[in-house]
Amino acid sequence: MDTAQRTPIASRLEDSLRPLIKGALPVHLTAWDGSQAGPTDGPRVRLTSPDALRRLLRSPGELGAAQAYVTGELEIEGDVGSLLDVVRAEFTRRGLSGLPTVAALRSLPTLVSLAKDLGLLAAPPSPPASQAQLRGRRHTLRRDRSAISHHYDLSNDFYALLLDPTMAYSSAWFGEGDELDPRRPLIEAQRAKLDLVCRALQLKEGDRFLDVGCGWGSLSLHAAEYYGAQVTGVTIAAEQKAYIDERVRARGLGDQVSIELRDYREVSGQFDAVGSIEMGEHVGQANYPTYVQTLRSRVRPGGHVLVQQMSRRGAHPGGGPFIEAFIAPDMHMRPLGETVELFESGGLEVRDVRAMREHYVWTVDAWLATFEQHLDELTALVGEEVVRVWRLYLVGGRQAFRDGRMGVDQILTRRPDETLPGRSHG
């Protein structure tokens, strides 16, 4: 038996990492050779293959860990969220800002020696099949369609099992004041959100309403059915358009709702009101002024525009390496104040901002419960790897909103009416 085969991999790995993580492993680790290290009462992680370490040595942060998890090379026993909480809290207690970098790992002679003994310095495995592979310059029409298709064209059946019957894929509204109830059924909370949007936009019978990034049509259908609006919805996800078209036919709304497969930059015409629910995150930082100008030019003078949008501070405006690689490539978020400034600079008057951060936590709670309830069906539809991607996405997203690392807000704006008395016509 050679040295590498006799090596207790887990304990050597822990000893190698101690100087970098300022102490013992925060989790109980079992390696593929059966060796163990770390606290026996801690969350349990199992490395089922040397490929897990190969990925982590090349991408030691969030991306490498996510790749190993979604492929099953790294198994988490028990609740994924609990493990993430423990690791984050322990790293904070030790004064660590995050996972080690490649350079930091390569500075550890004992770790380099272990990697050589185990033959881990060869090229890492290929990226998982569920990881996005986009080409071309960011936020061209073609690349944006590819990025959106990667996420939203996964399967209408998949989203129907995950979401409530409204098919609203955005934060719900669980009320405020005496009416606030986090235990409210998600379908009621989503309908309350749709009502909130329609009332803020002052929609009434016959109004021409543009729904930019209409998803599976929850807002478009609600505005037509309950407010009598004449709706144009736009999406660049072909699966979404096919789904909404069927819902429009089933509800007899063909004379009120028209769904177009086109980019927001390709929309023409003018409308009485414009809504865009959690779509602005996908347009990119450089294109955000274009997005604002498009919304402004599409609404009549005096008309309202409402955007519901996620916000984020600090590093990784795209949401972090995992989100950017597996979920929403090319996404860009910024602090709320910067988005408000972009609307004001683009000629839209900000009339109201409604914070909804806690509401997203309760929304994702409901999605997670539905996800676990339909786990077998979801796995049959998209496979184990994609299910792992989504578990990590939902759990991590919930924690980001819970901890205030991300927010979501409804920003209500109005295009000034230059014909009103006292307005400049220059």
| Residue 113 to residue 384: CA distance in whole angstroms | 34
Contacts of 372 by beta carbon, 8 Å cutoff, 6+ apart: none
Give the pLDDT band (50/70/90) at residue 420.
low
Q: Using an 8 Å Cβ cutoff, are 395 and 84 in contact? A: yes
Could you tell me which of 58, 20, 92, 61 has the C-alpha nearest to residue 316?
Answer: 61
| Residue 56 to residue 67: CA distance in whole angstroms | 9
Mean pLDDT of 391-399: 97
Q: 213 to each of 243, 257, 280, how far by Cα in Å?
A: 14, 14, 9
Give the pLDDT band (50/70/90) at residue 138.
confident
Predicted local distance difference test score (pLDDT) of residue 6: 61
Examine the pLDDT at 277 and tell me if it is beyond 70: yes
Q: In the chain, where are the structural domains located?
A: 3-117, 141-414
Mean pLDDT of 375-384: 96
Examine the pLDDT at 426 and tell me if it is beyond 60: no
Mean pLDDT of 404-416: 97
Examine the pLDDT at 70 and tell me if it is beyond 70: yes
CA angle 219, 241, 382 (to 5 degrees): 105
Mean pLDDT of 70-97: 94
- Paired with 420 in beta bridges are none
Predicted local distance difference test score (pLDDT) of residue 419: 66
Q: What are phi and psi of 383, to 5 degrees?
A: 95, 160
Predicted local distance difference test score (pLDDT) of residue 167: 97
Examine the pLDDT at 230 and tell me if it is beyond 70: yes
Predicted local distance difference test score (pLDDT) of residue 34: 96
Q: What is the pLDDT of residues 319-374, one digit of tens each?
A: 999 999 999 888 999 999 999 999 999 999 999 999 999 999 999 999 999 999 99
| Residue 202 to residue 9: CA distance in whole angstroms | 64
| Residue 411 to residue 350: CA distance in whole angstroms | 7
Could you tell me which of 339, 220, 352 has the C-alpha nearest to residue 273?
Answer: 220
329: exposed, middle or buried (C-beta count within 10 Å: 0-12, 13-18, 19+)?
buried
Mean pLDDT of 284-303: 97
Q: What is the pLDDT of residues 195-208, one digit of tens each?
A: 999 999 999 999 99
Predicted local distance difference test score (pLDDT) of residue 1: 40
Give the pLDDT band (50/70/90) at residue 421.
low
Q: What is the pLDDT of residues 28-59, one digit of tens each?
A: 999 999 999 999 999 999 999 999 999 988 88
| Residue 203 to residue 221: CA distance in whole angstroms | 13
Report strand pairing: 44-47 vs 74-77: antiparallel
Mean pLDDT of 275-282: 97
Examine the pLDDT at 292 and tell me if it is beyond 50: yes
Q: Which class in CATH covers the domain with range 141-414?
A: alpha beta
Which is higher by pLDDT, 106 or 310?
A: 310
Q: What are phi and psi of 406, to 5 degrees?
A: -135, 155
Q: Using an 8 Å Cβ cutoff, are 395 and 368 in contact? A: yes
Predicted local distance difference test score (pLDDT) of residue 261: 96
- Sheet of 208-212: strand order equals 257-261, 230-235, 208-212, 271-277, 299-312, 406-414, 349-355
175-195 burial by CB neighbour count: b if 16+ within 10 A, else e?
A: eeeeeeeeebebebbbbbbbe
Q: Where are the alpha helices (DSSP H) in 374-418?
A: 375-382, 384-402
Examine the pLDDT at 423 and tell me if it is beyond 60: no
Segment holding 186, helix H or strand E: helix 186-200
Segment holding 230, helix H or strand E: strand 230-235
Q: What is the pLDDT of residues 169-185, one digit of tens each?
A: 999 999 999 999 999 99
Share above pLDDT 90 across residues of the chain, in percent, rounded to a whole number: 79
Predicted local distance difference test score (pLDDT) of residue 115: 87
| Residue 104 to residue 98: CA distance in whole angstroms | 12
Examine the pLDDT at 63 and tell me if it is beyond 50: yes
Examine the pLDDT at 149 and tell me if it is beyond 90: no
How does DSSP classify residue 267? -
Predicted local distance difference test score (pLDDT) of residue 3: 45
Contacts of 69 by beta carbon, 8 Å cutoff, 6+ apart: 75, 76, 388, 392
Token pair of 315 as six digits = 């590093």
